[in-house]
């Protein structure tokens, strides 16, 4: 009899011990974004602005068919992330990865980032001047916030208890709507609300499938 199959007196040996899921992609992603921000901060001001603008999901780039910016814009930020924000981002992305796995967590992040970017583009396209392009059409629009809001919304909408789930998702949507209702709102505020809504939809779909399985 092998050692693993023996039973000690008064004890039972479990057949399989499932290791805890440890997030790996989330720390790598947050670390890469932060290191890239520190590296970009060392560039001359004009060159740094050109770099960020070239990878922005602004009207000029998307109208010109530069769809790669839907991916590259999530790898750059305008300035290094404040440590509390970086910690919150790592916590949310790491929780999603540990709970759902890399593929699904990355899918929610990507859907929120790209989906919100496209919705903002659709809303701005007919309202800004592109010939010559105005400041909004050429705006620097990069960062992690759309994916962050989407992932947070998905986690809230996937809470096991129905009442808690409804309160969490509704609360996040209400918080996201407040900046949009102000006179000083920006298109980024609308993007955050759109990303949260997309994340809630993703999370609600997952909760529905889990309930029916």
Task: Identify the pLDDT of residue 210.
Answer: 55
Task: Identify the pLDDT of residue 15.
Answer: 41
- Residues in the chain, overall count: 213
The residue written with tokens 């929120």 in the block is: 112
Task: Identify the pLDDT of residue 161.
Answer: 85
Dihedral sign, CA of 115, 117, 118, 124? Answer: positive
Prediction pTM value: 0.86
pLDDT digits (tens, 9 = 90+) for 14-58: 444 344 578 999 999 999 999 999 999 999 999 999 999 999 999
Task: Identify the pLDDT of residue 28.
Answer: 97
Task: Identify the pLDDT of residue 76.
Answer: 97
- The tokens describing 101, both together, are 């796995």
Average pLDDT over residues 70-94: 97
Range 51-90 burial, b when 16+ CB lie within 10 A, else e: ebbebbbbbbbbeeebeebbeebbebbeebbeeeebeebb
In sequence order, the 6+-apart residues with CB closer than 8 A to the CB of 133 are 59, 60
Omega before 10 within 30 of 0, i.e. cis: no
The region of weakest confidence among 82-91, 173-182, 186-195, 199-208 is: 199-208
The residue written with tokens 């890399």 in the block is: 102
């Amino acid at each position: 009899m092998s050692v693993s199959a023996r039973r000690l007196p008064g004890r039972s040996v479990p057949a399989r011990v499932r290791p805890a899921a440890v997030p790996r992609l989330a720390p790598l992603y947050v670390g890469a974004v932060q290191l890239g921000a520190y590296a970009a901060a060392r560039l001359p001001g004009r060159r740094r602005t050109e770099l960020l603008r070239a990878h922005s999901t602004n009207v000029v780039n998307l109208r010109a068919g530069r769809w790669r910016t839907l991916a590259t814009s999530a790898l750059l930020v305008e300035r290094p992330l404040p440590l509390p924000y970086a910690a919150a981002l790592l916590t949310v992305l790491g929780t999603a990865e540990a709970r759902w796995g890399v593929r699904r967590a990355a899918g929610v992040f990507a859907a929120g980032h790209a989906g919100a970017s496209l919705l903002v583009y659709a809303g701005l396209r007919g309202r800004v001047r592109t010939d010559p392009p105005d400041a909004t059409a050429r705006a620097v629009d990069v960062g992690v916030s759309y994916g962050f809001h989407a992932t947070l919304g998905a986690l809230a909408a996937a809470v096991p208890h129905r009442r808690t789930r409804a309160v969490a998702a509704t609360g996040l949507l209400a918080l996201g709507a407040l900046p949009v209702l102000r006179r000083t709102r920006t298109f980024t505020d609308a993007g955050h609300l759109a990303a949260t809504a997309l994340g809630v939809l993703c999370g609600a779909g997952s909760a529905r499938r889990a309930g029916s399985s």
